[in-house]
Structure 1
Amino acid sequence: MANSAGSRKRARQAEKRRQQNASLRSTARTYLKKIFAAIETGDKAAAEAAFKTAQPVLDSSVNKGIFHKNKIARYKSRLSTKIKALA
């Protein structure tokens, strides 16, 4: 455990950040699962709607440093390709 007051504060801040990051990561993953579920059912309209609502969440997670930008770009590209293939 941390001994000095400064290191105790750092430990508290790190724990708060860890919990916030975990929450944001979980939210983004939930949106991704909704898109995957819509694609699995073959419902193009639902998949497009889910994709449209998920894009801002995914982009903001990149800006907050939760995911790497290339990873989210790759996900978005592959998902849009799968949605287009549903036609």
Structure 2
Amino acid sequence: MANHKSAIKRVRQNKKRYMRNKAYRTRLKNILKKSRMLIEAESDKETVEAQLKEAEKVIRKICSKGIIHKNKASRLISNLYQKAHRKFKQAQAS
């Protein structure tokens, strides 16, 4: 355990930041899961596009706060859009 006043404060700050970041990471996982499930299940393109825009907004916000790296954010967004595009392209071909 920390002995100095500044070290004790640092422990408090780290704990507060950890809890905040954990909430953001949980939100990220939930929005990704929801988006992927919707892409798999939904046949309505407008509904999926609306969900993807919402997911992109959340991902970019989390990235701007430094919770995830900007390249990871771009990769997650890209993968979601690619998955949706492949599904609707496949459905259109059928």
TM-score by length of 2: 0.84
Q: Distance in 2 between matches of 1:75 and 1:4?
A: 42
Deviation at 1:46, TM superposition (A): 3.0
Q: Distance in 2 between matches of 1:50 and 1:2?
A: 46
The one-letter code matched in structure 2 to 1:53 is E
- SS of residue paired to 1:86: helix
Q: Distance in 1 between matches of 2:30 and 2:46?
A: 19
- SS of residue paired to 2:3: coil
Q: Distance in 2 between matches of 1:47 and 1:68?
A: 25
Question: Structure 1: where are the runs of 5+ without partners?
Answer: none
Matched residue count:
87
Runs of 4+ in 1 over 6 A off after TM superposition: none
Residue aligning to 2:46: 45
Larger Rg: 2
Question: Structure 2: where are the runs of 5+ without partners?
Answer: 89-94
The one-letter code matched in structure 2 to 1:78 is N
Q: Deviations over 1:27-75 (max 9, x none)?
A: 1111111111012214333322211111111001111111111111111
TM-score by length of 1: 0.90
Q: Over aligned residues, Cα RMSD in angstroms?
A: 1.2
